[in-house]
Chain A
Amino acid sequence: AAGVIQSPRHLIKEKRETATLKCYPIPRHDTVYWYQQGPGQDPQFLISFYEKMQSDKGSIPDRFSAQQFSDYHSELNMSSLELGDSALYFCASSTGSSQPQHFGDGTRLSIL
């Protein structure tokens, strides 16, 4: 079965650079979620979109923005990167209405 696709799998950036992470949800899933997982930590919710509109917002820094496009894929844009942004970034998708979120394999972002 098709799963959530994230790209790139690994990304190395330097401080103050920008990065864009992409997420392609499971077909027919209309809701996308972004999570950040720092080293040794549990996932933290960043932001979600339903039908291309922001549906919920968590601990997403102002330096980050995201959107969901007409084909339901989503992009997380990160600017002025800091060392503390080094983490695994997971995207999940769902069909809503009590259906579970299904996660991609994540993007490992390393800031040098």
Chain B
Amino acid sequence: DAKTTQPPSMDCAEGRAANLPCNHSTISGNEYVYWYRQIHSQGPQYIIHGLKNNETNEMASLIITEDRKSSTLILPHATLRDTAVYYCIVSPDSNYQLIWGAGTKLIIKP
């Protein structure tokens, strides 16, 4: 079973920041938090990952709470092309299977 809990769906206005929460209260000390998204039946796309510290790349920012029991993915300026299912996954490292939960269906509205 997935070790994460995400809201099933969210809306966000185009141009605004999209903040996607994820709970992972049973995360272990050696487990990373990975975020992927899947745009309608395409291959899942890697977004960002982190262990303890906040991370930022060209796509998004990842904020991990100090106790590591939850995190938030931030898309700073959402566009219509960001409409997708977003998955938060915890895993020891990438040489382990990714266990996918239901994810959050993010809909960006004009």
Contact = CB atoms under 8 A, between A and B. Distances in A.
B95 A43 contact: no
Nearest to B32: A98
Contacts, number: 65
Given A42-B102, A98-B32, A100-B49, A105 B42 contact: yes
Interface in B45-79: 45-46, 49, 51
Interface string B75-99: 0000000000001000001111111
Contact of B98 (A45, A95, A97, A106): A45
Nearest to A99: B94
Main secondary structure of the interface of B (DSSP, over half): loop
Contacts of B94: 31, 94-101
Interface stretch (A12-20, A50-58, A67-75, A76-84): A50-58
Contact of A103 (B45, B99, B101, B102): B45
A44 B43 contact: no
B1 to A, nearest CB: 11
Nearest to B87: A42
- Kindly state the interface size class of chain B when it binds its partner: 20 to 34
A11 B87 CA distance: 27
A48 B91 CA distance: 15
A33 interface: yes
26 contacts: A35-B98, A42-B87, A42-B100, A43-B100, A45-B97, A45-B99, A48-B95, A55-B95, A94-B95, A95-B94, A96-B94, A98-B49, A98-B93, A98-B94, A99-B94, A100-B34, A100-B49, A100-B94, A101-B98, A103-B44, A103-B45, A103-B46, A104-B43, A105-B43, A106-B41, A106-B43
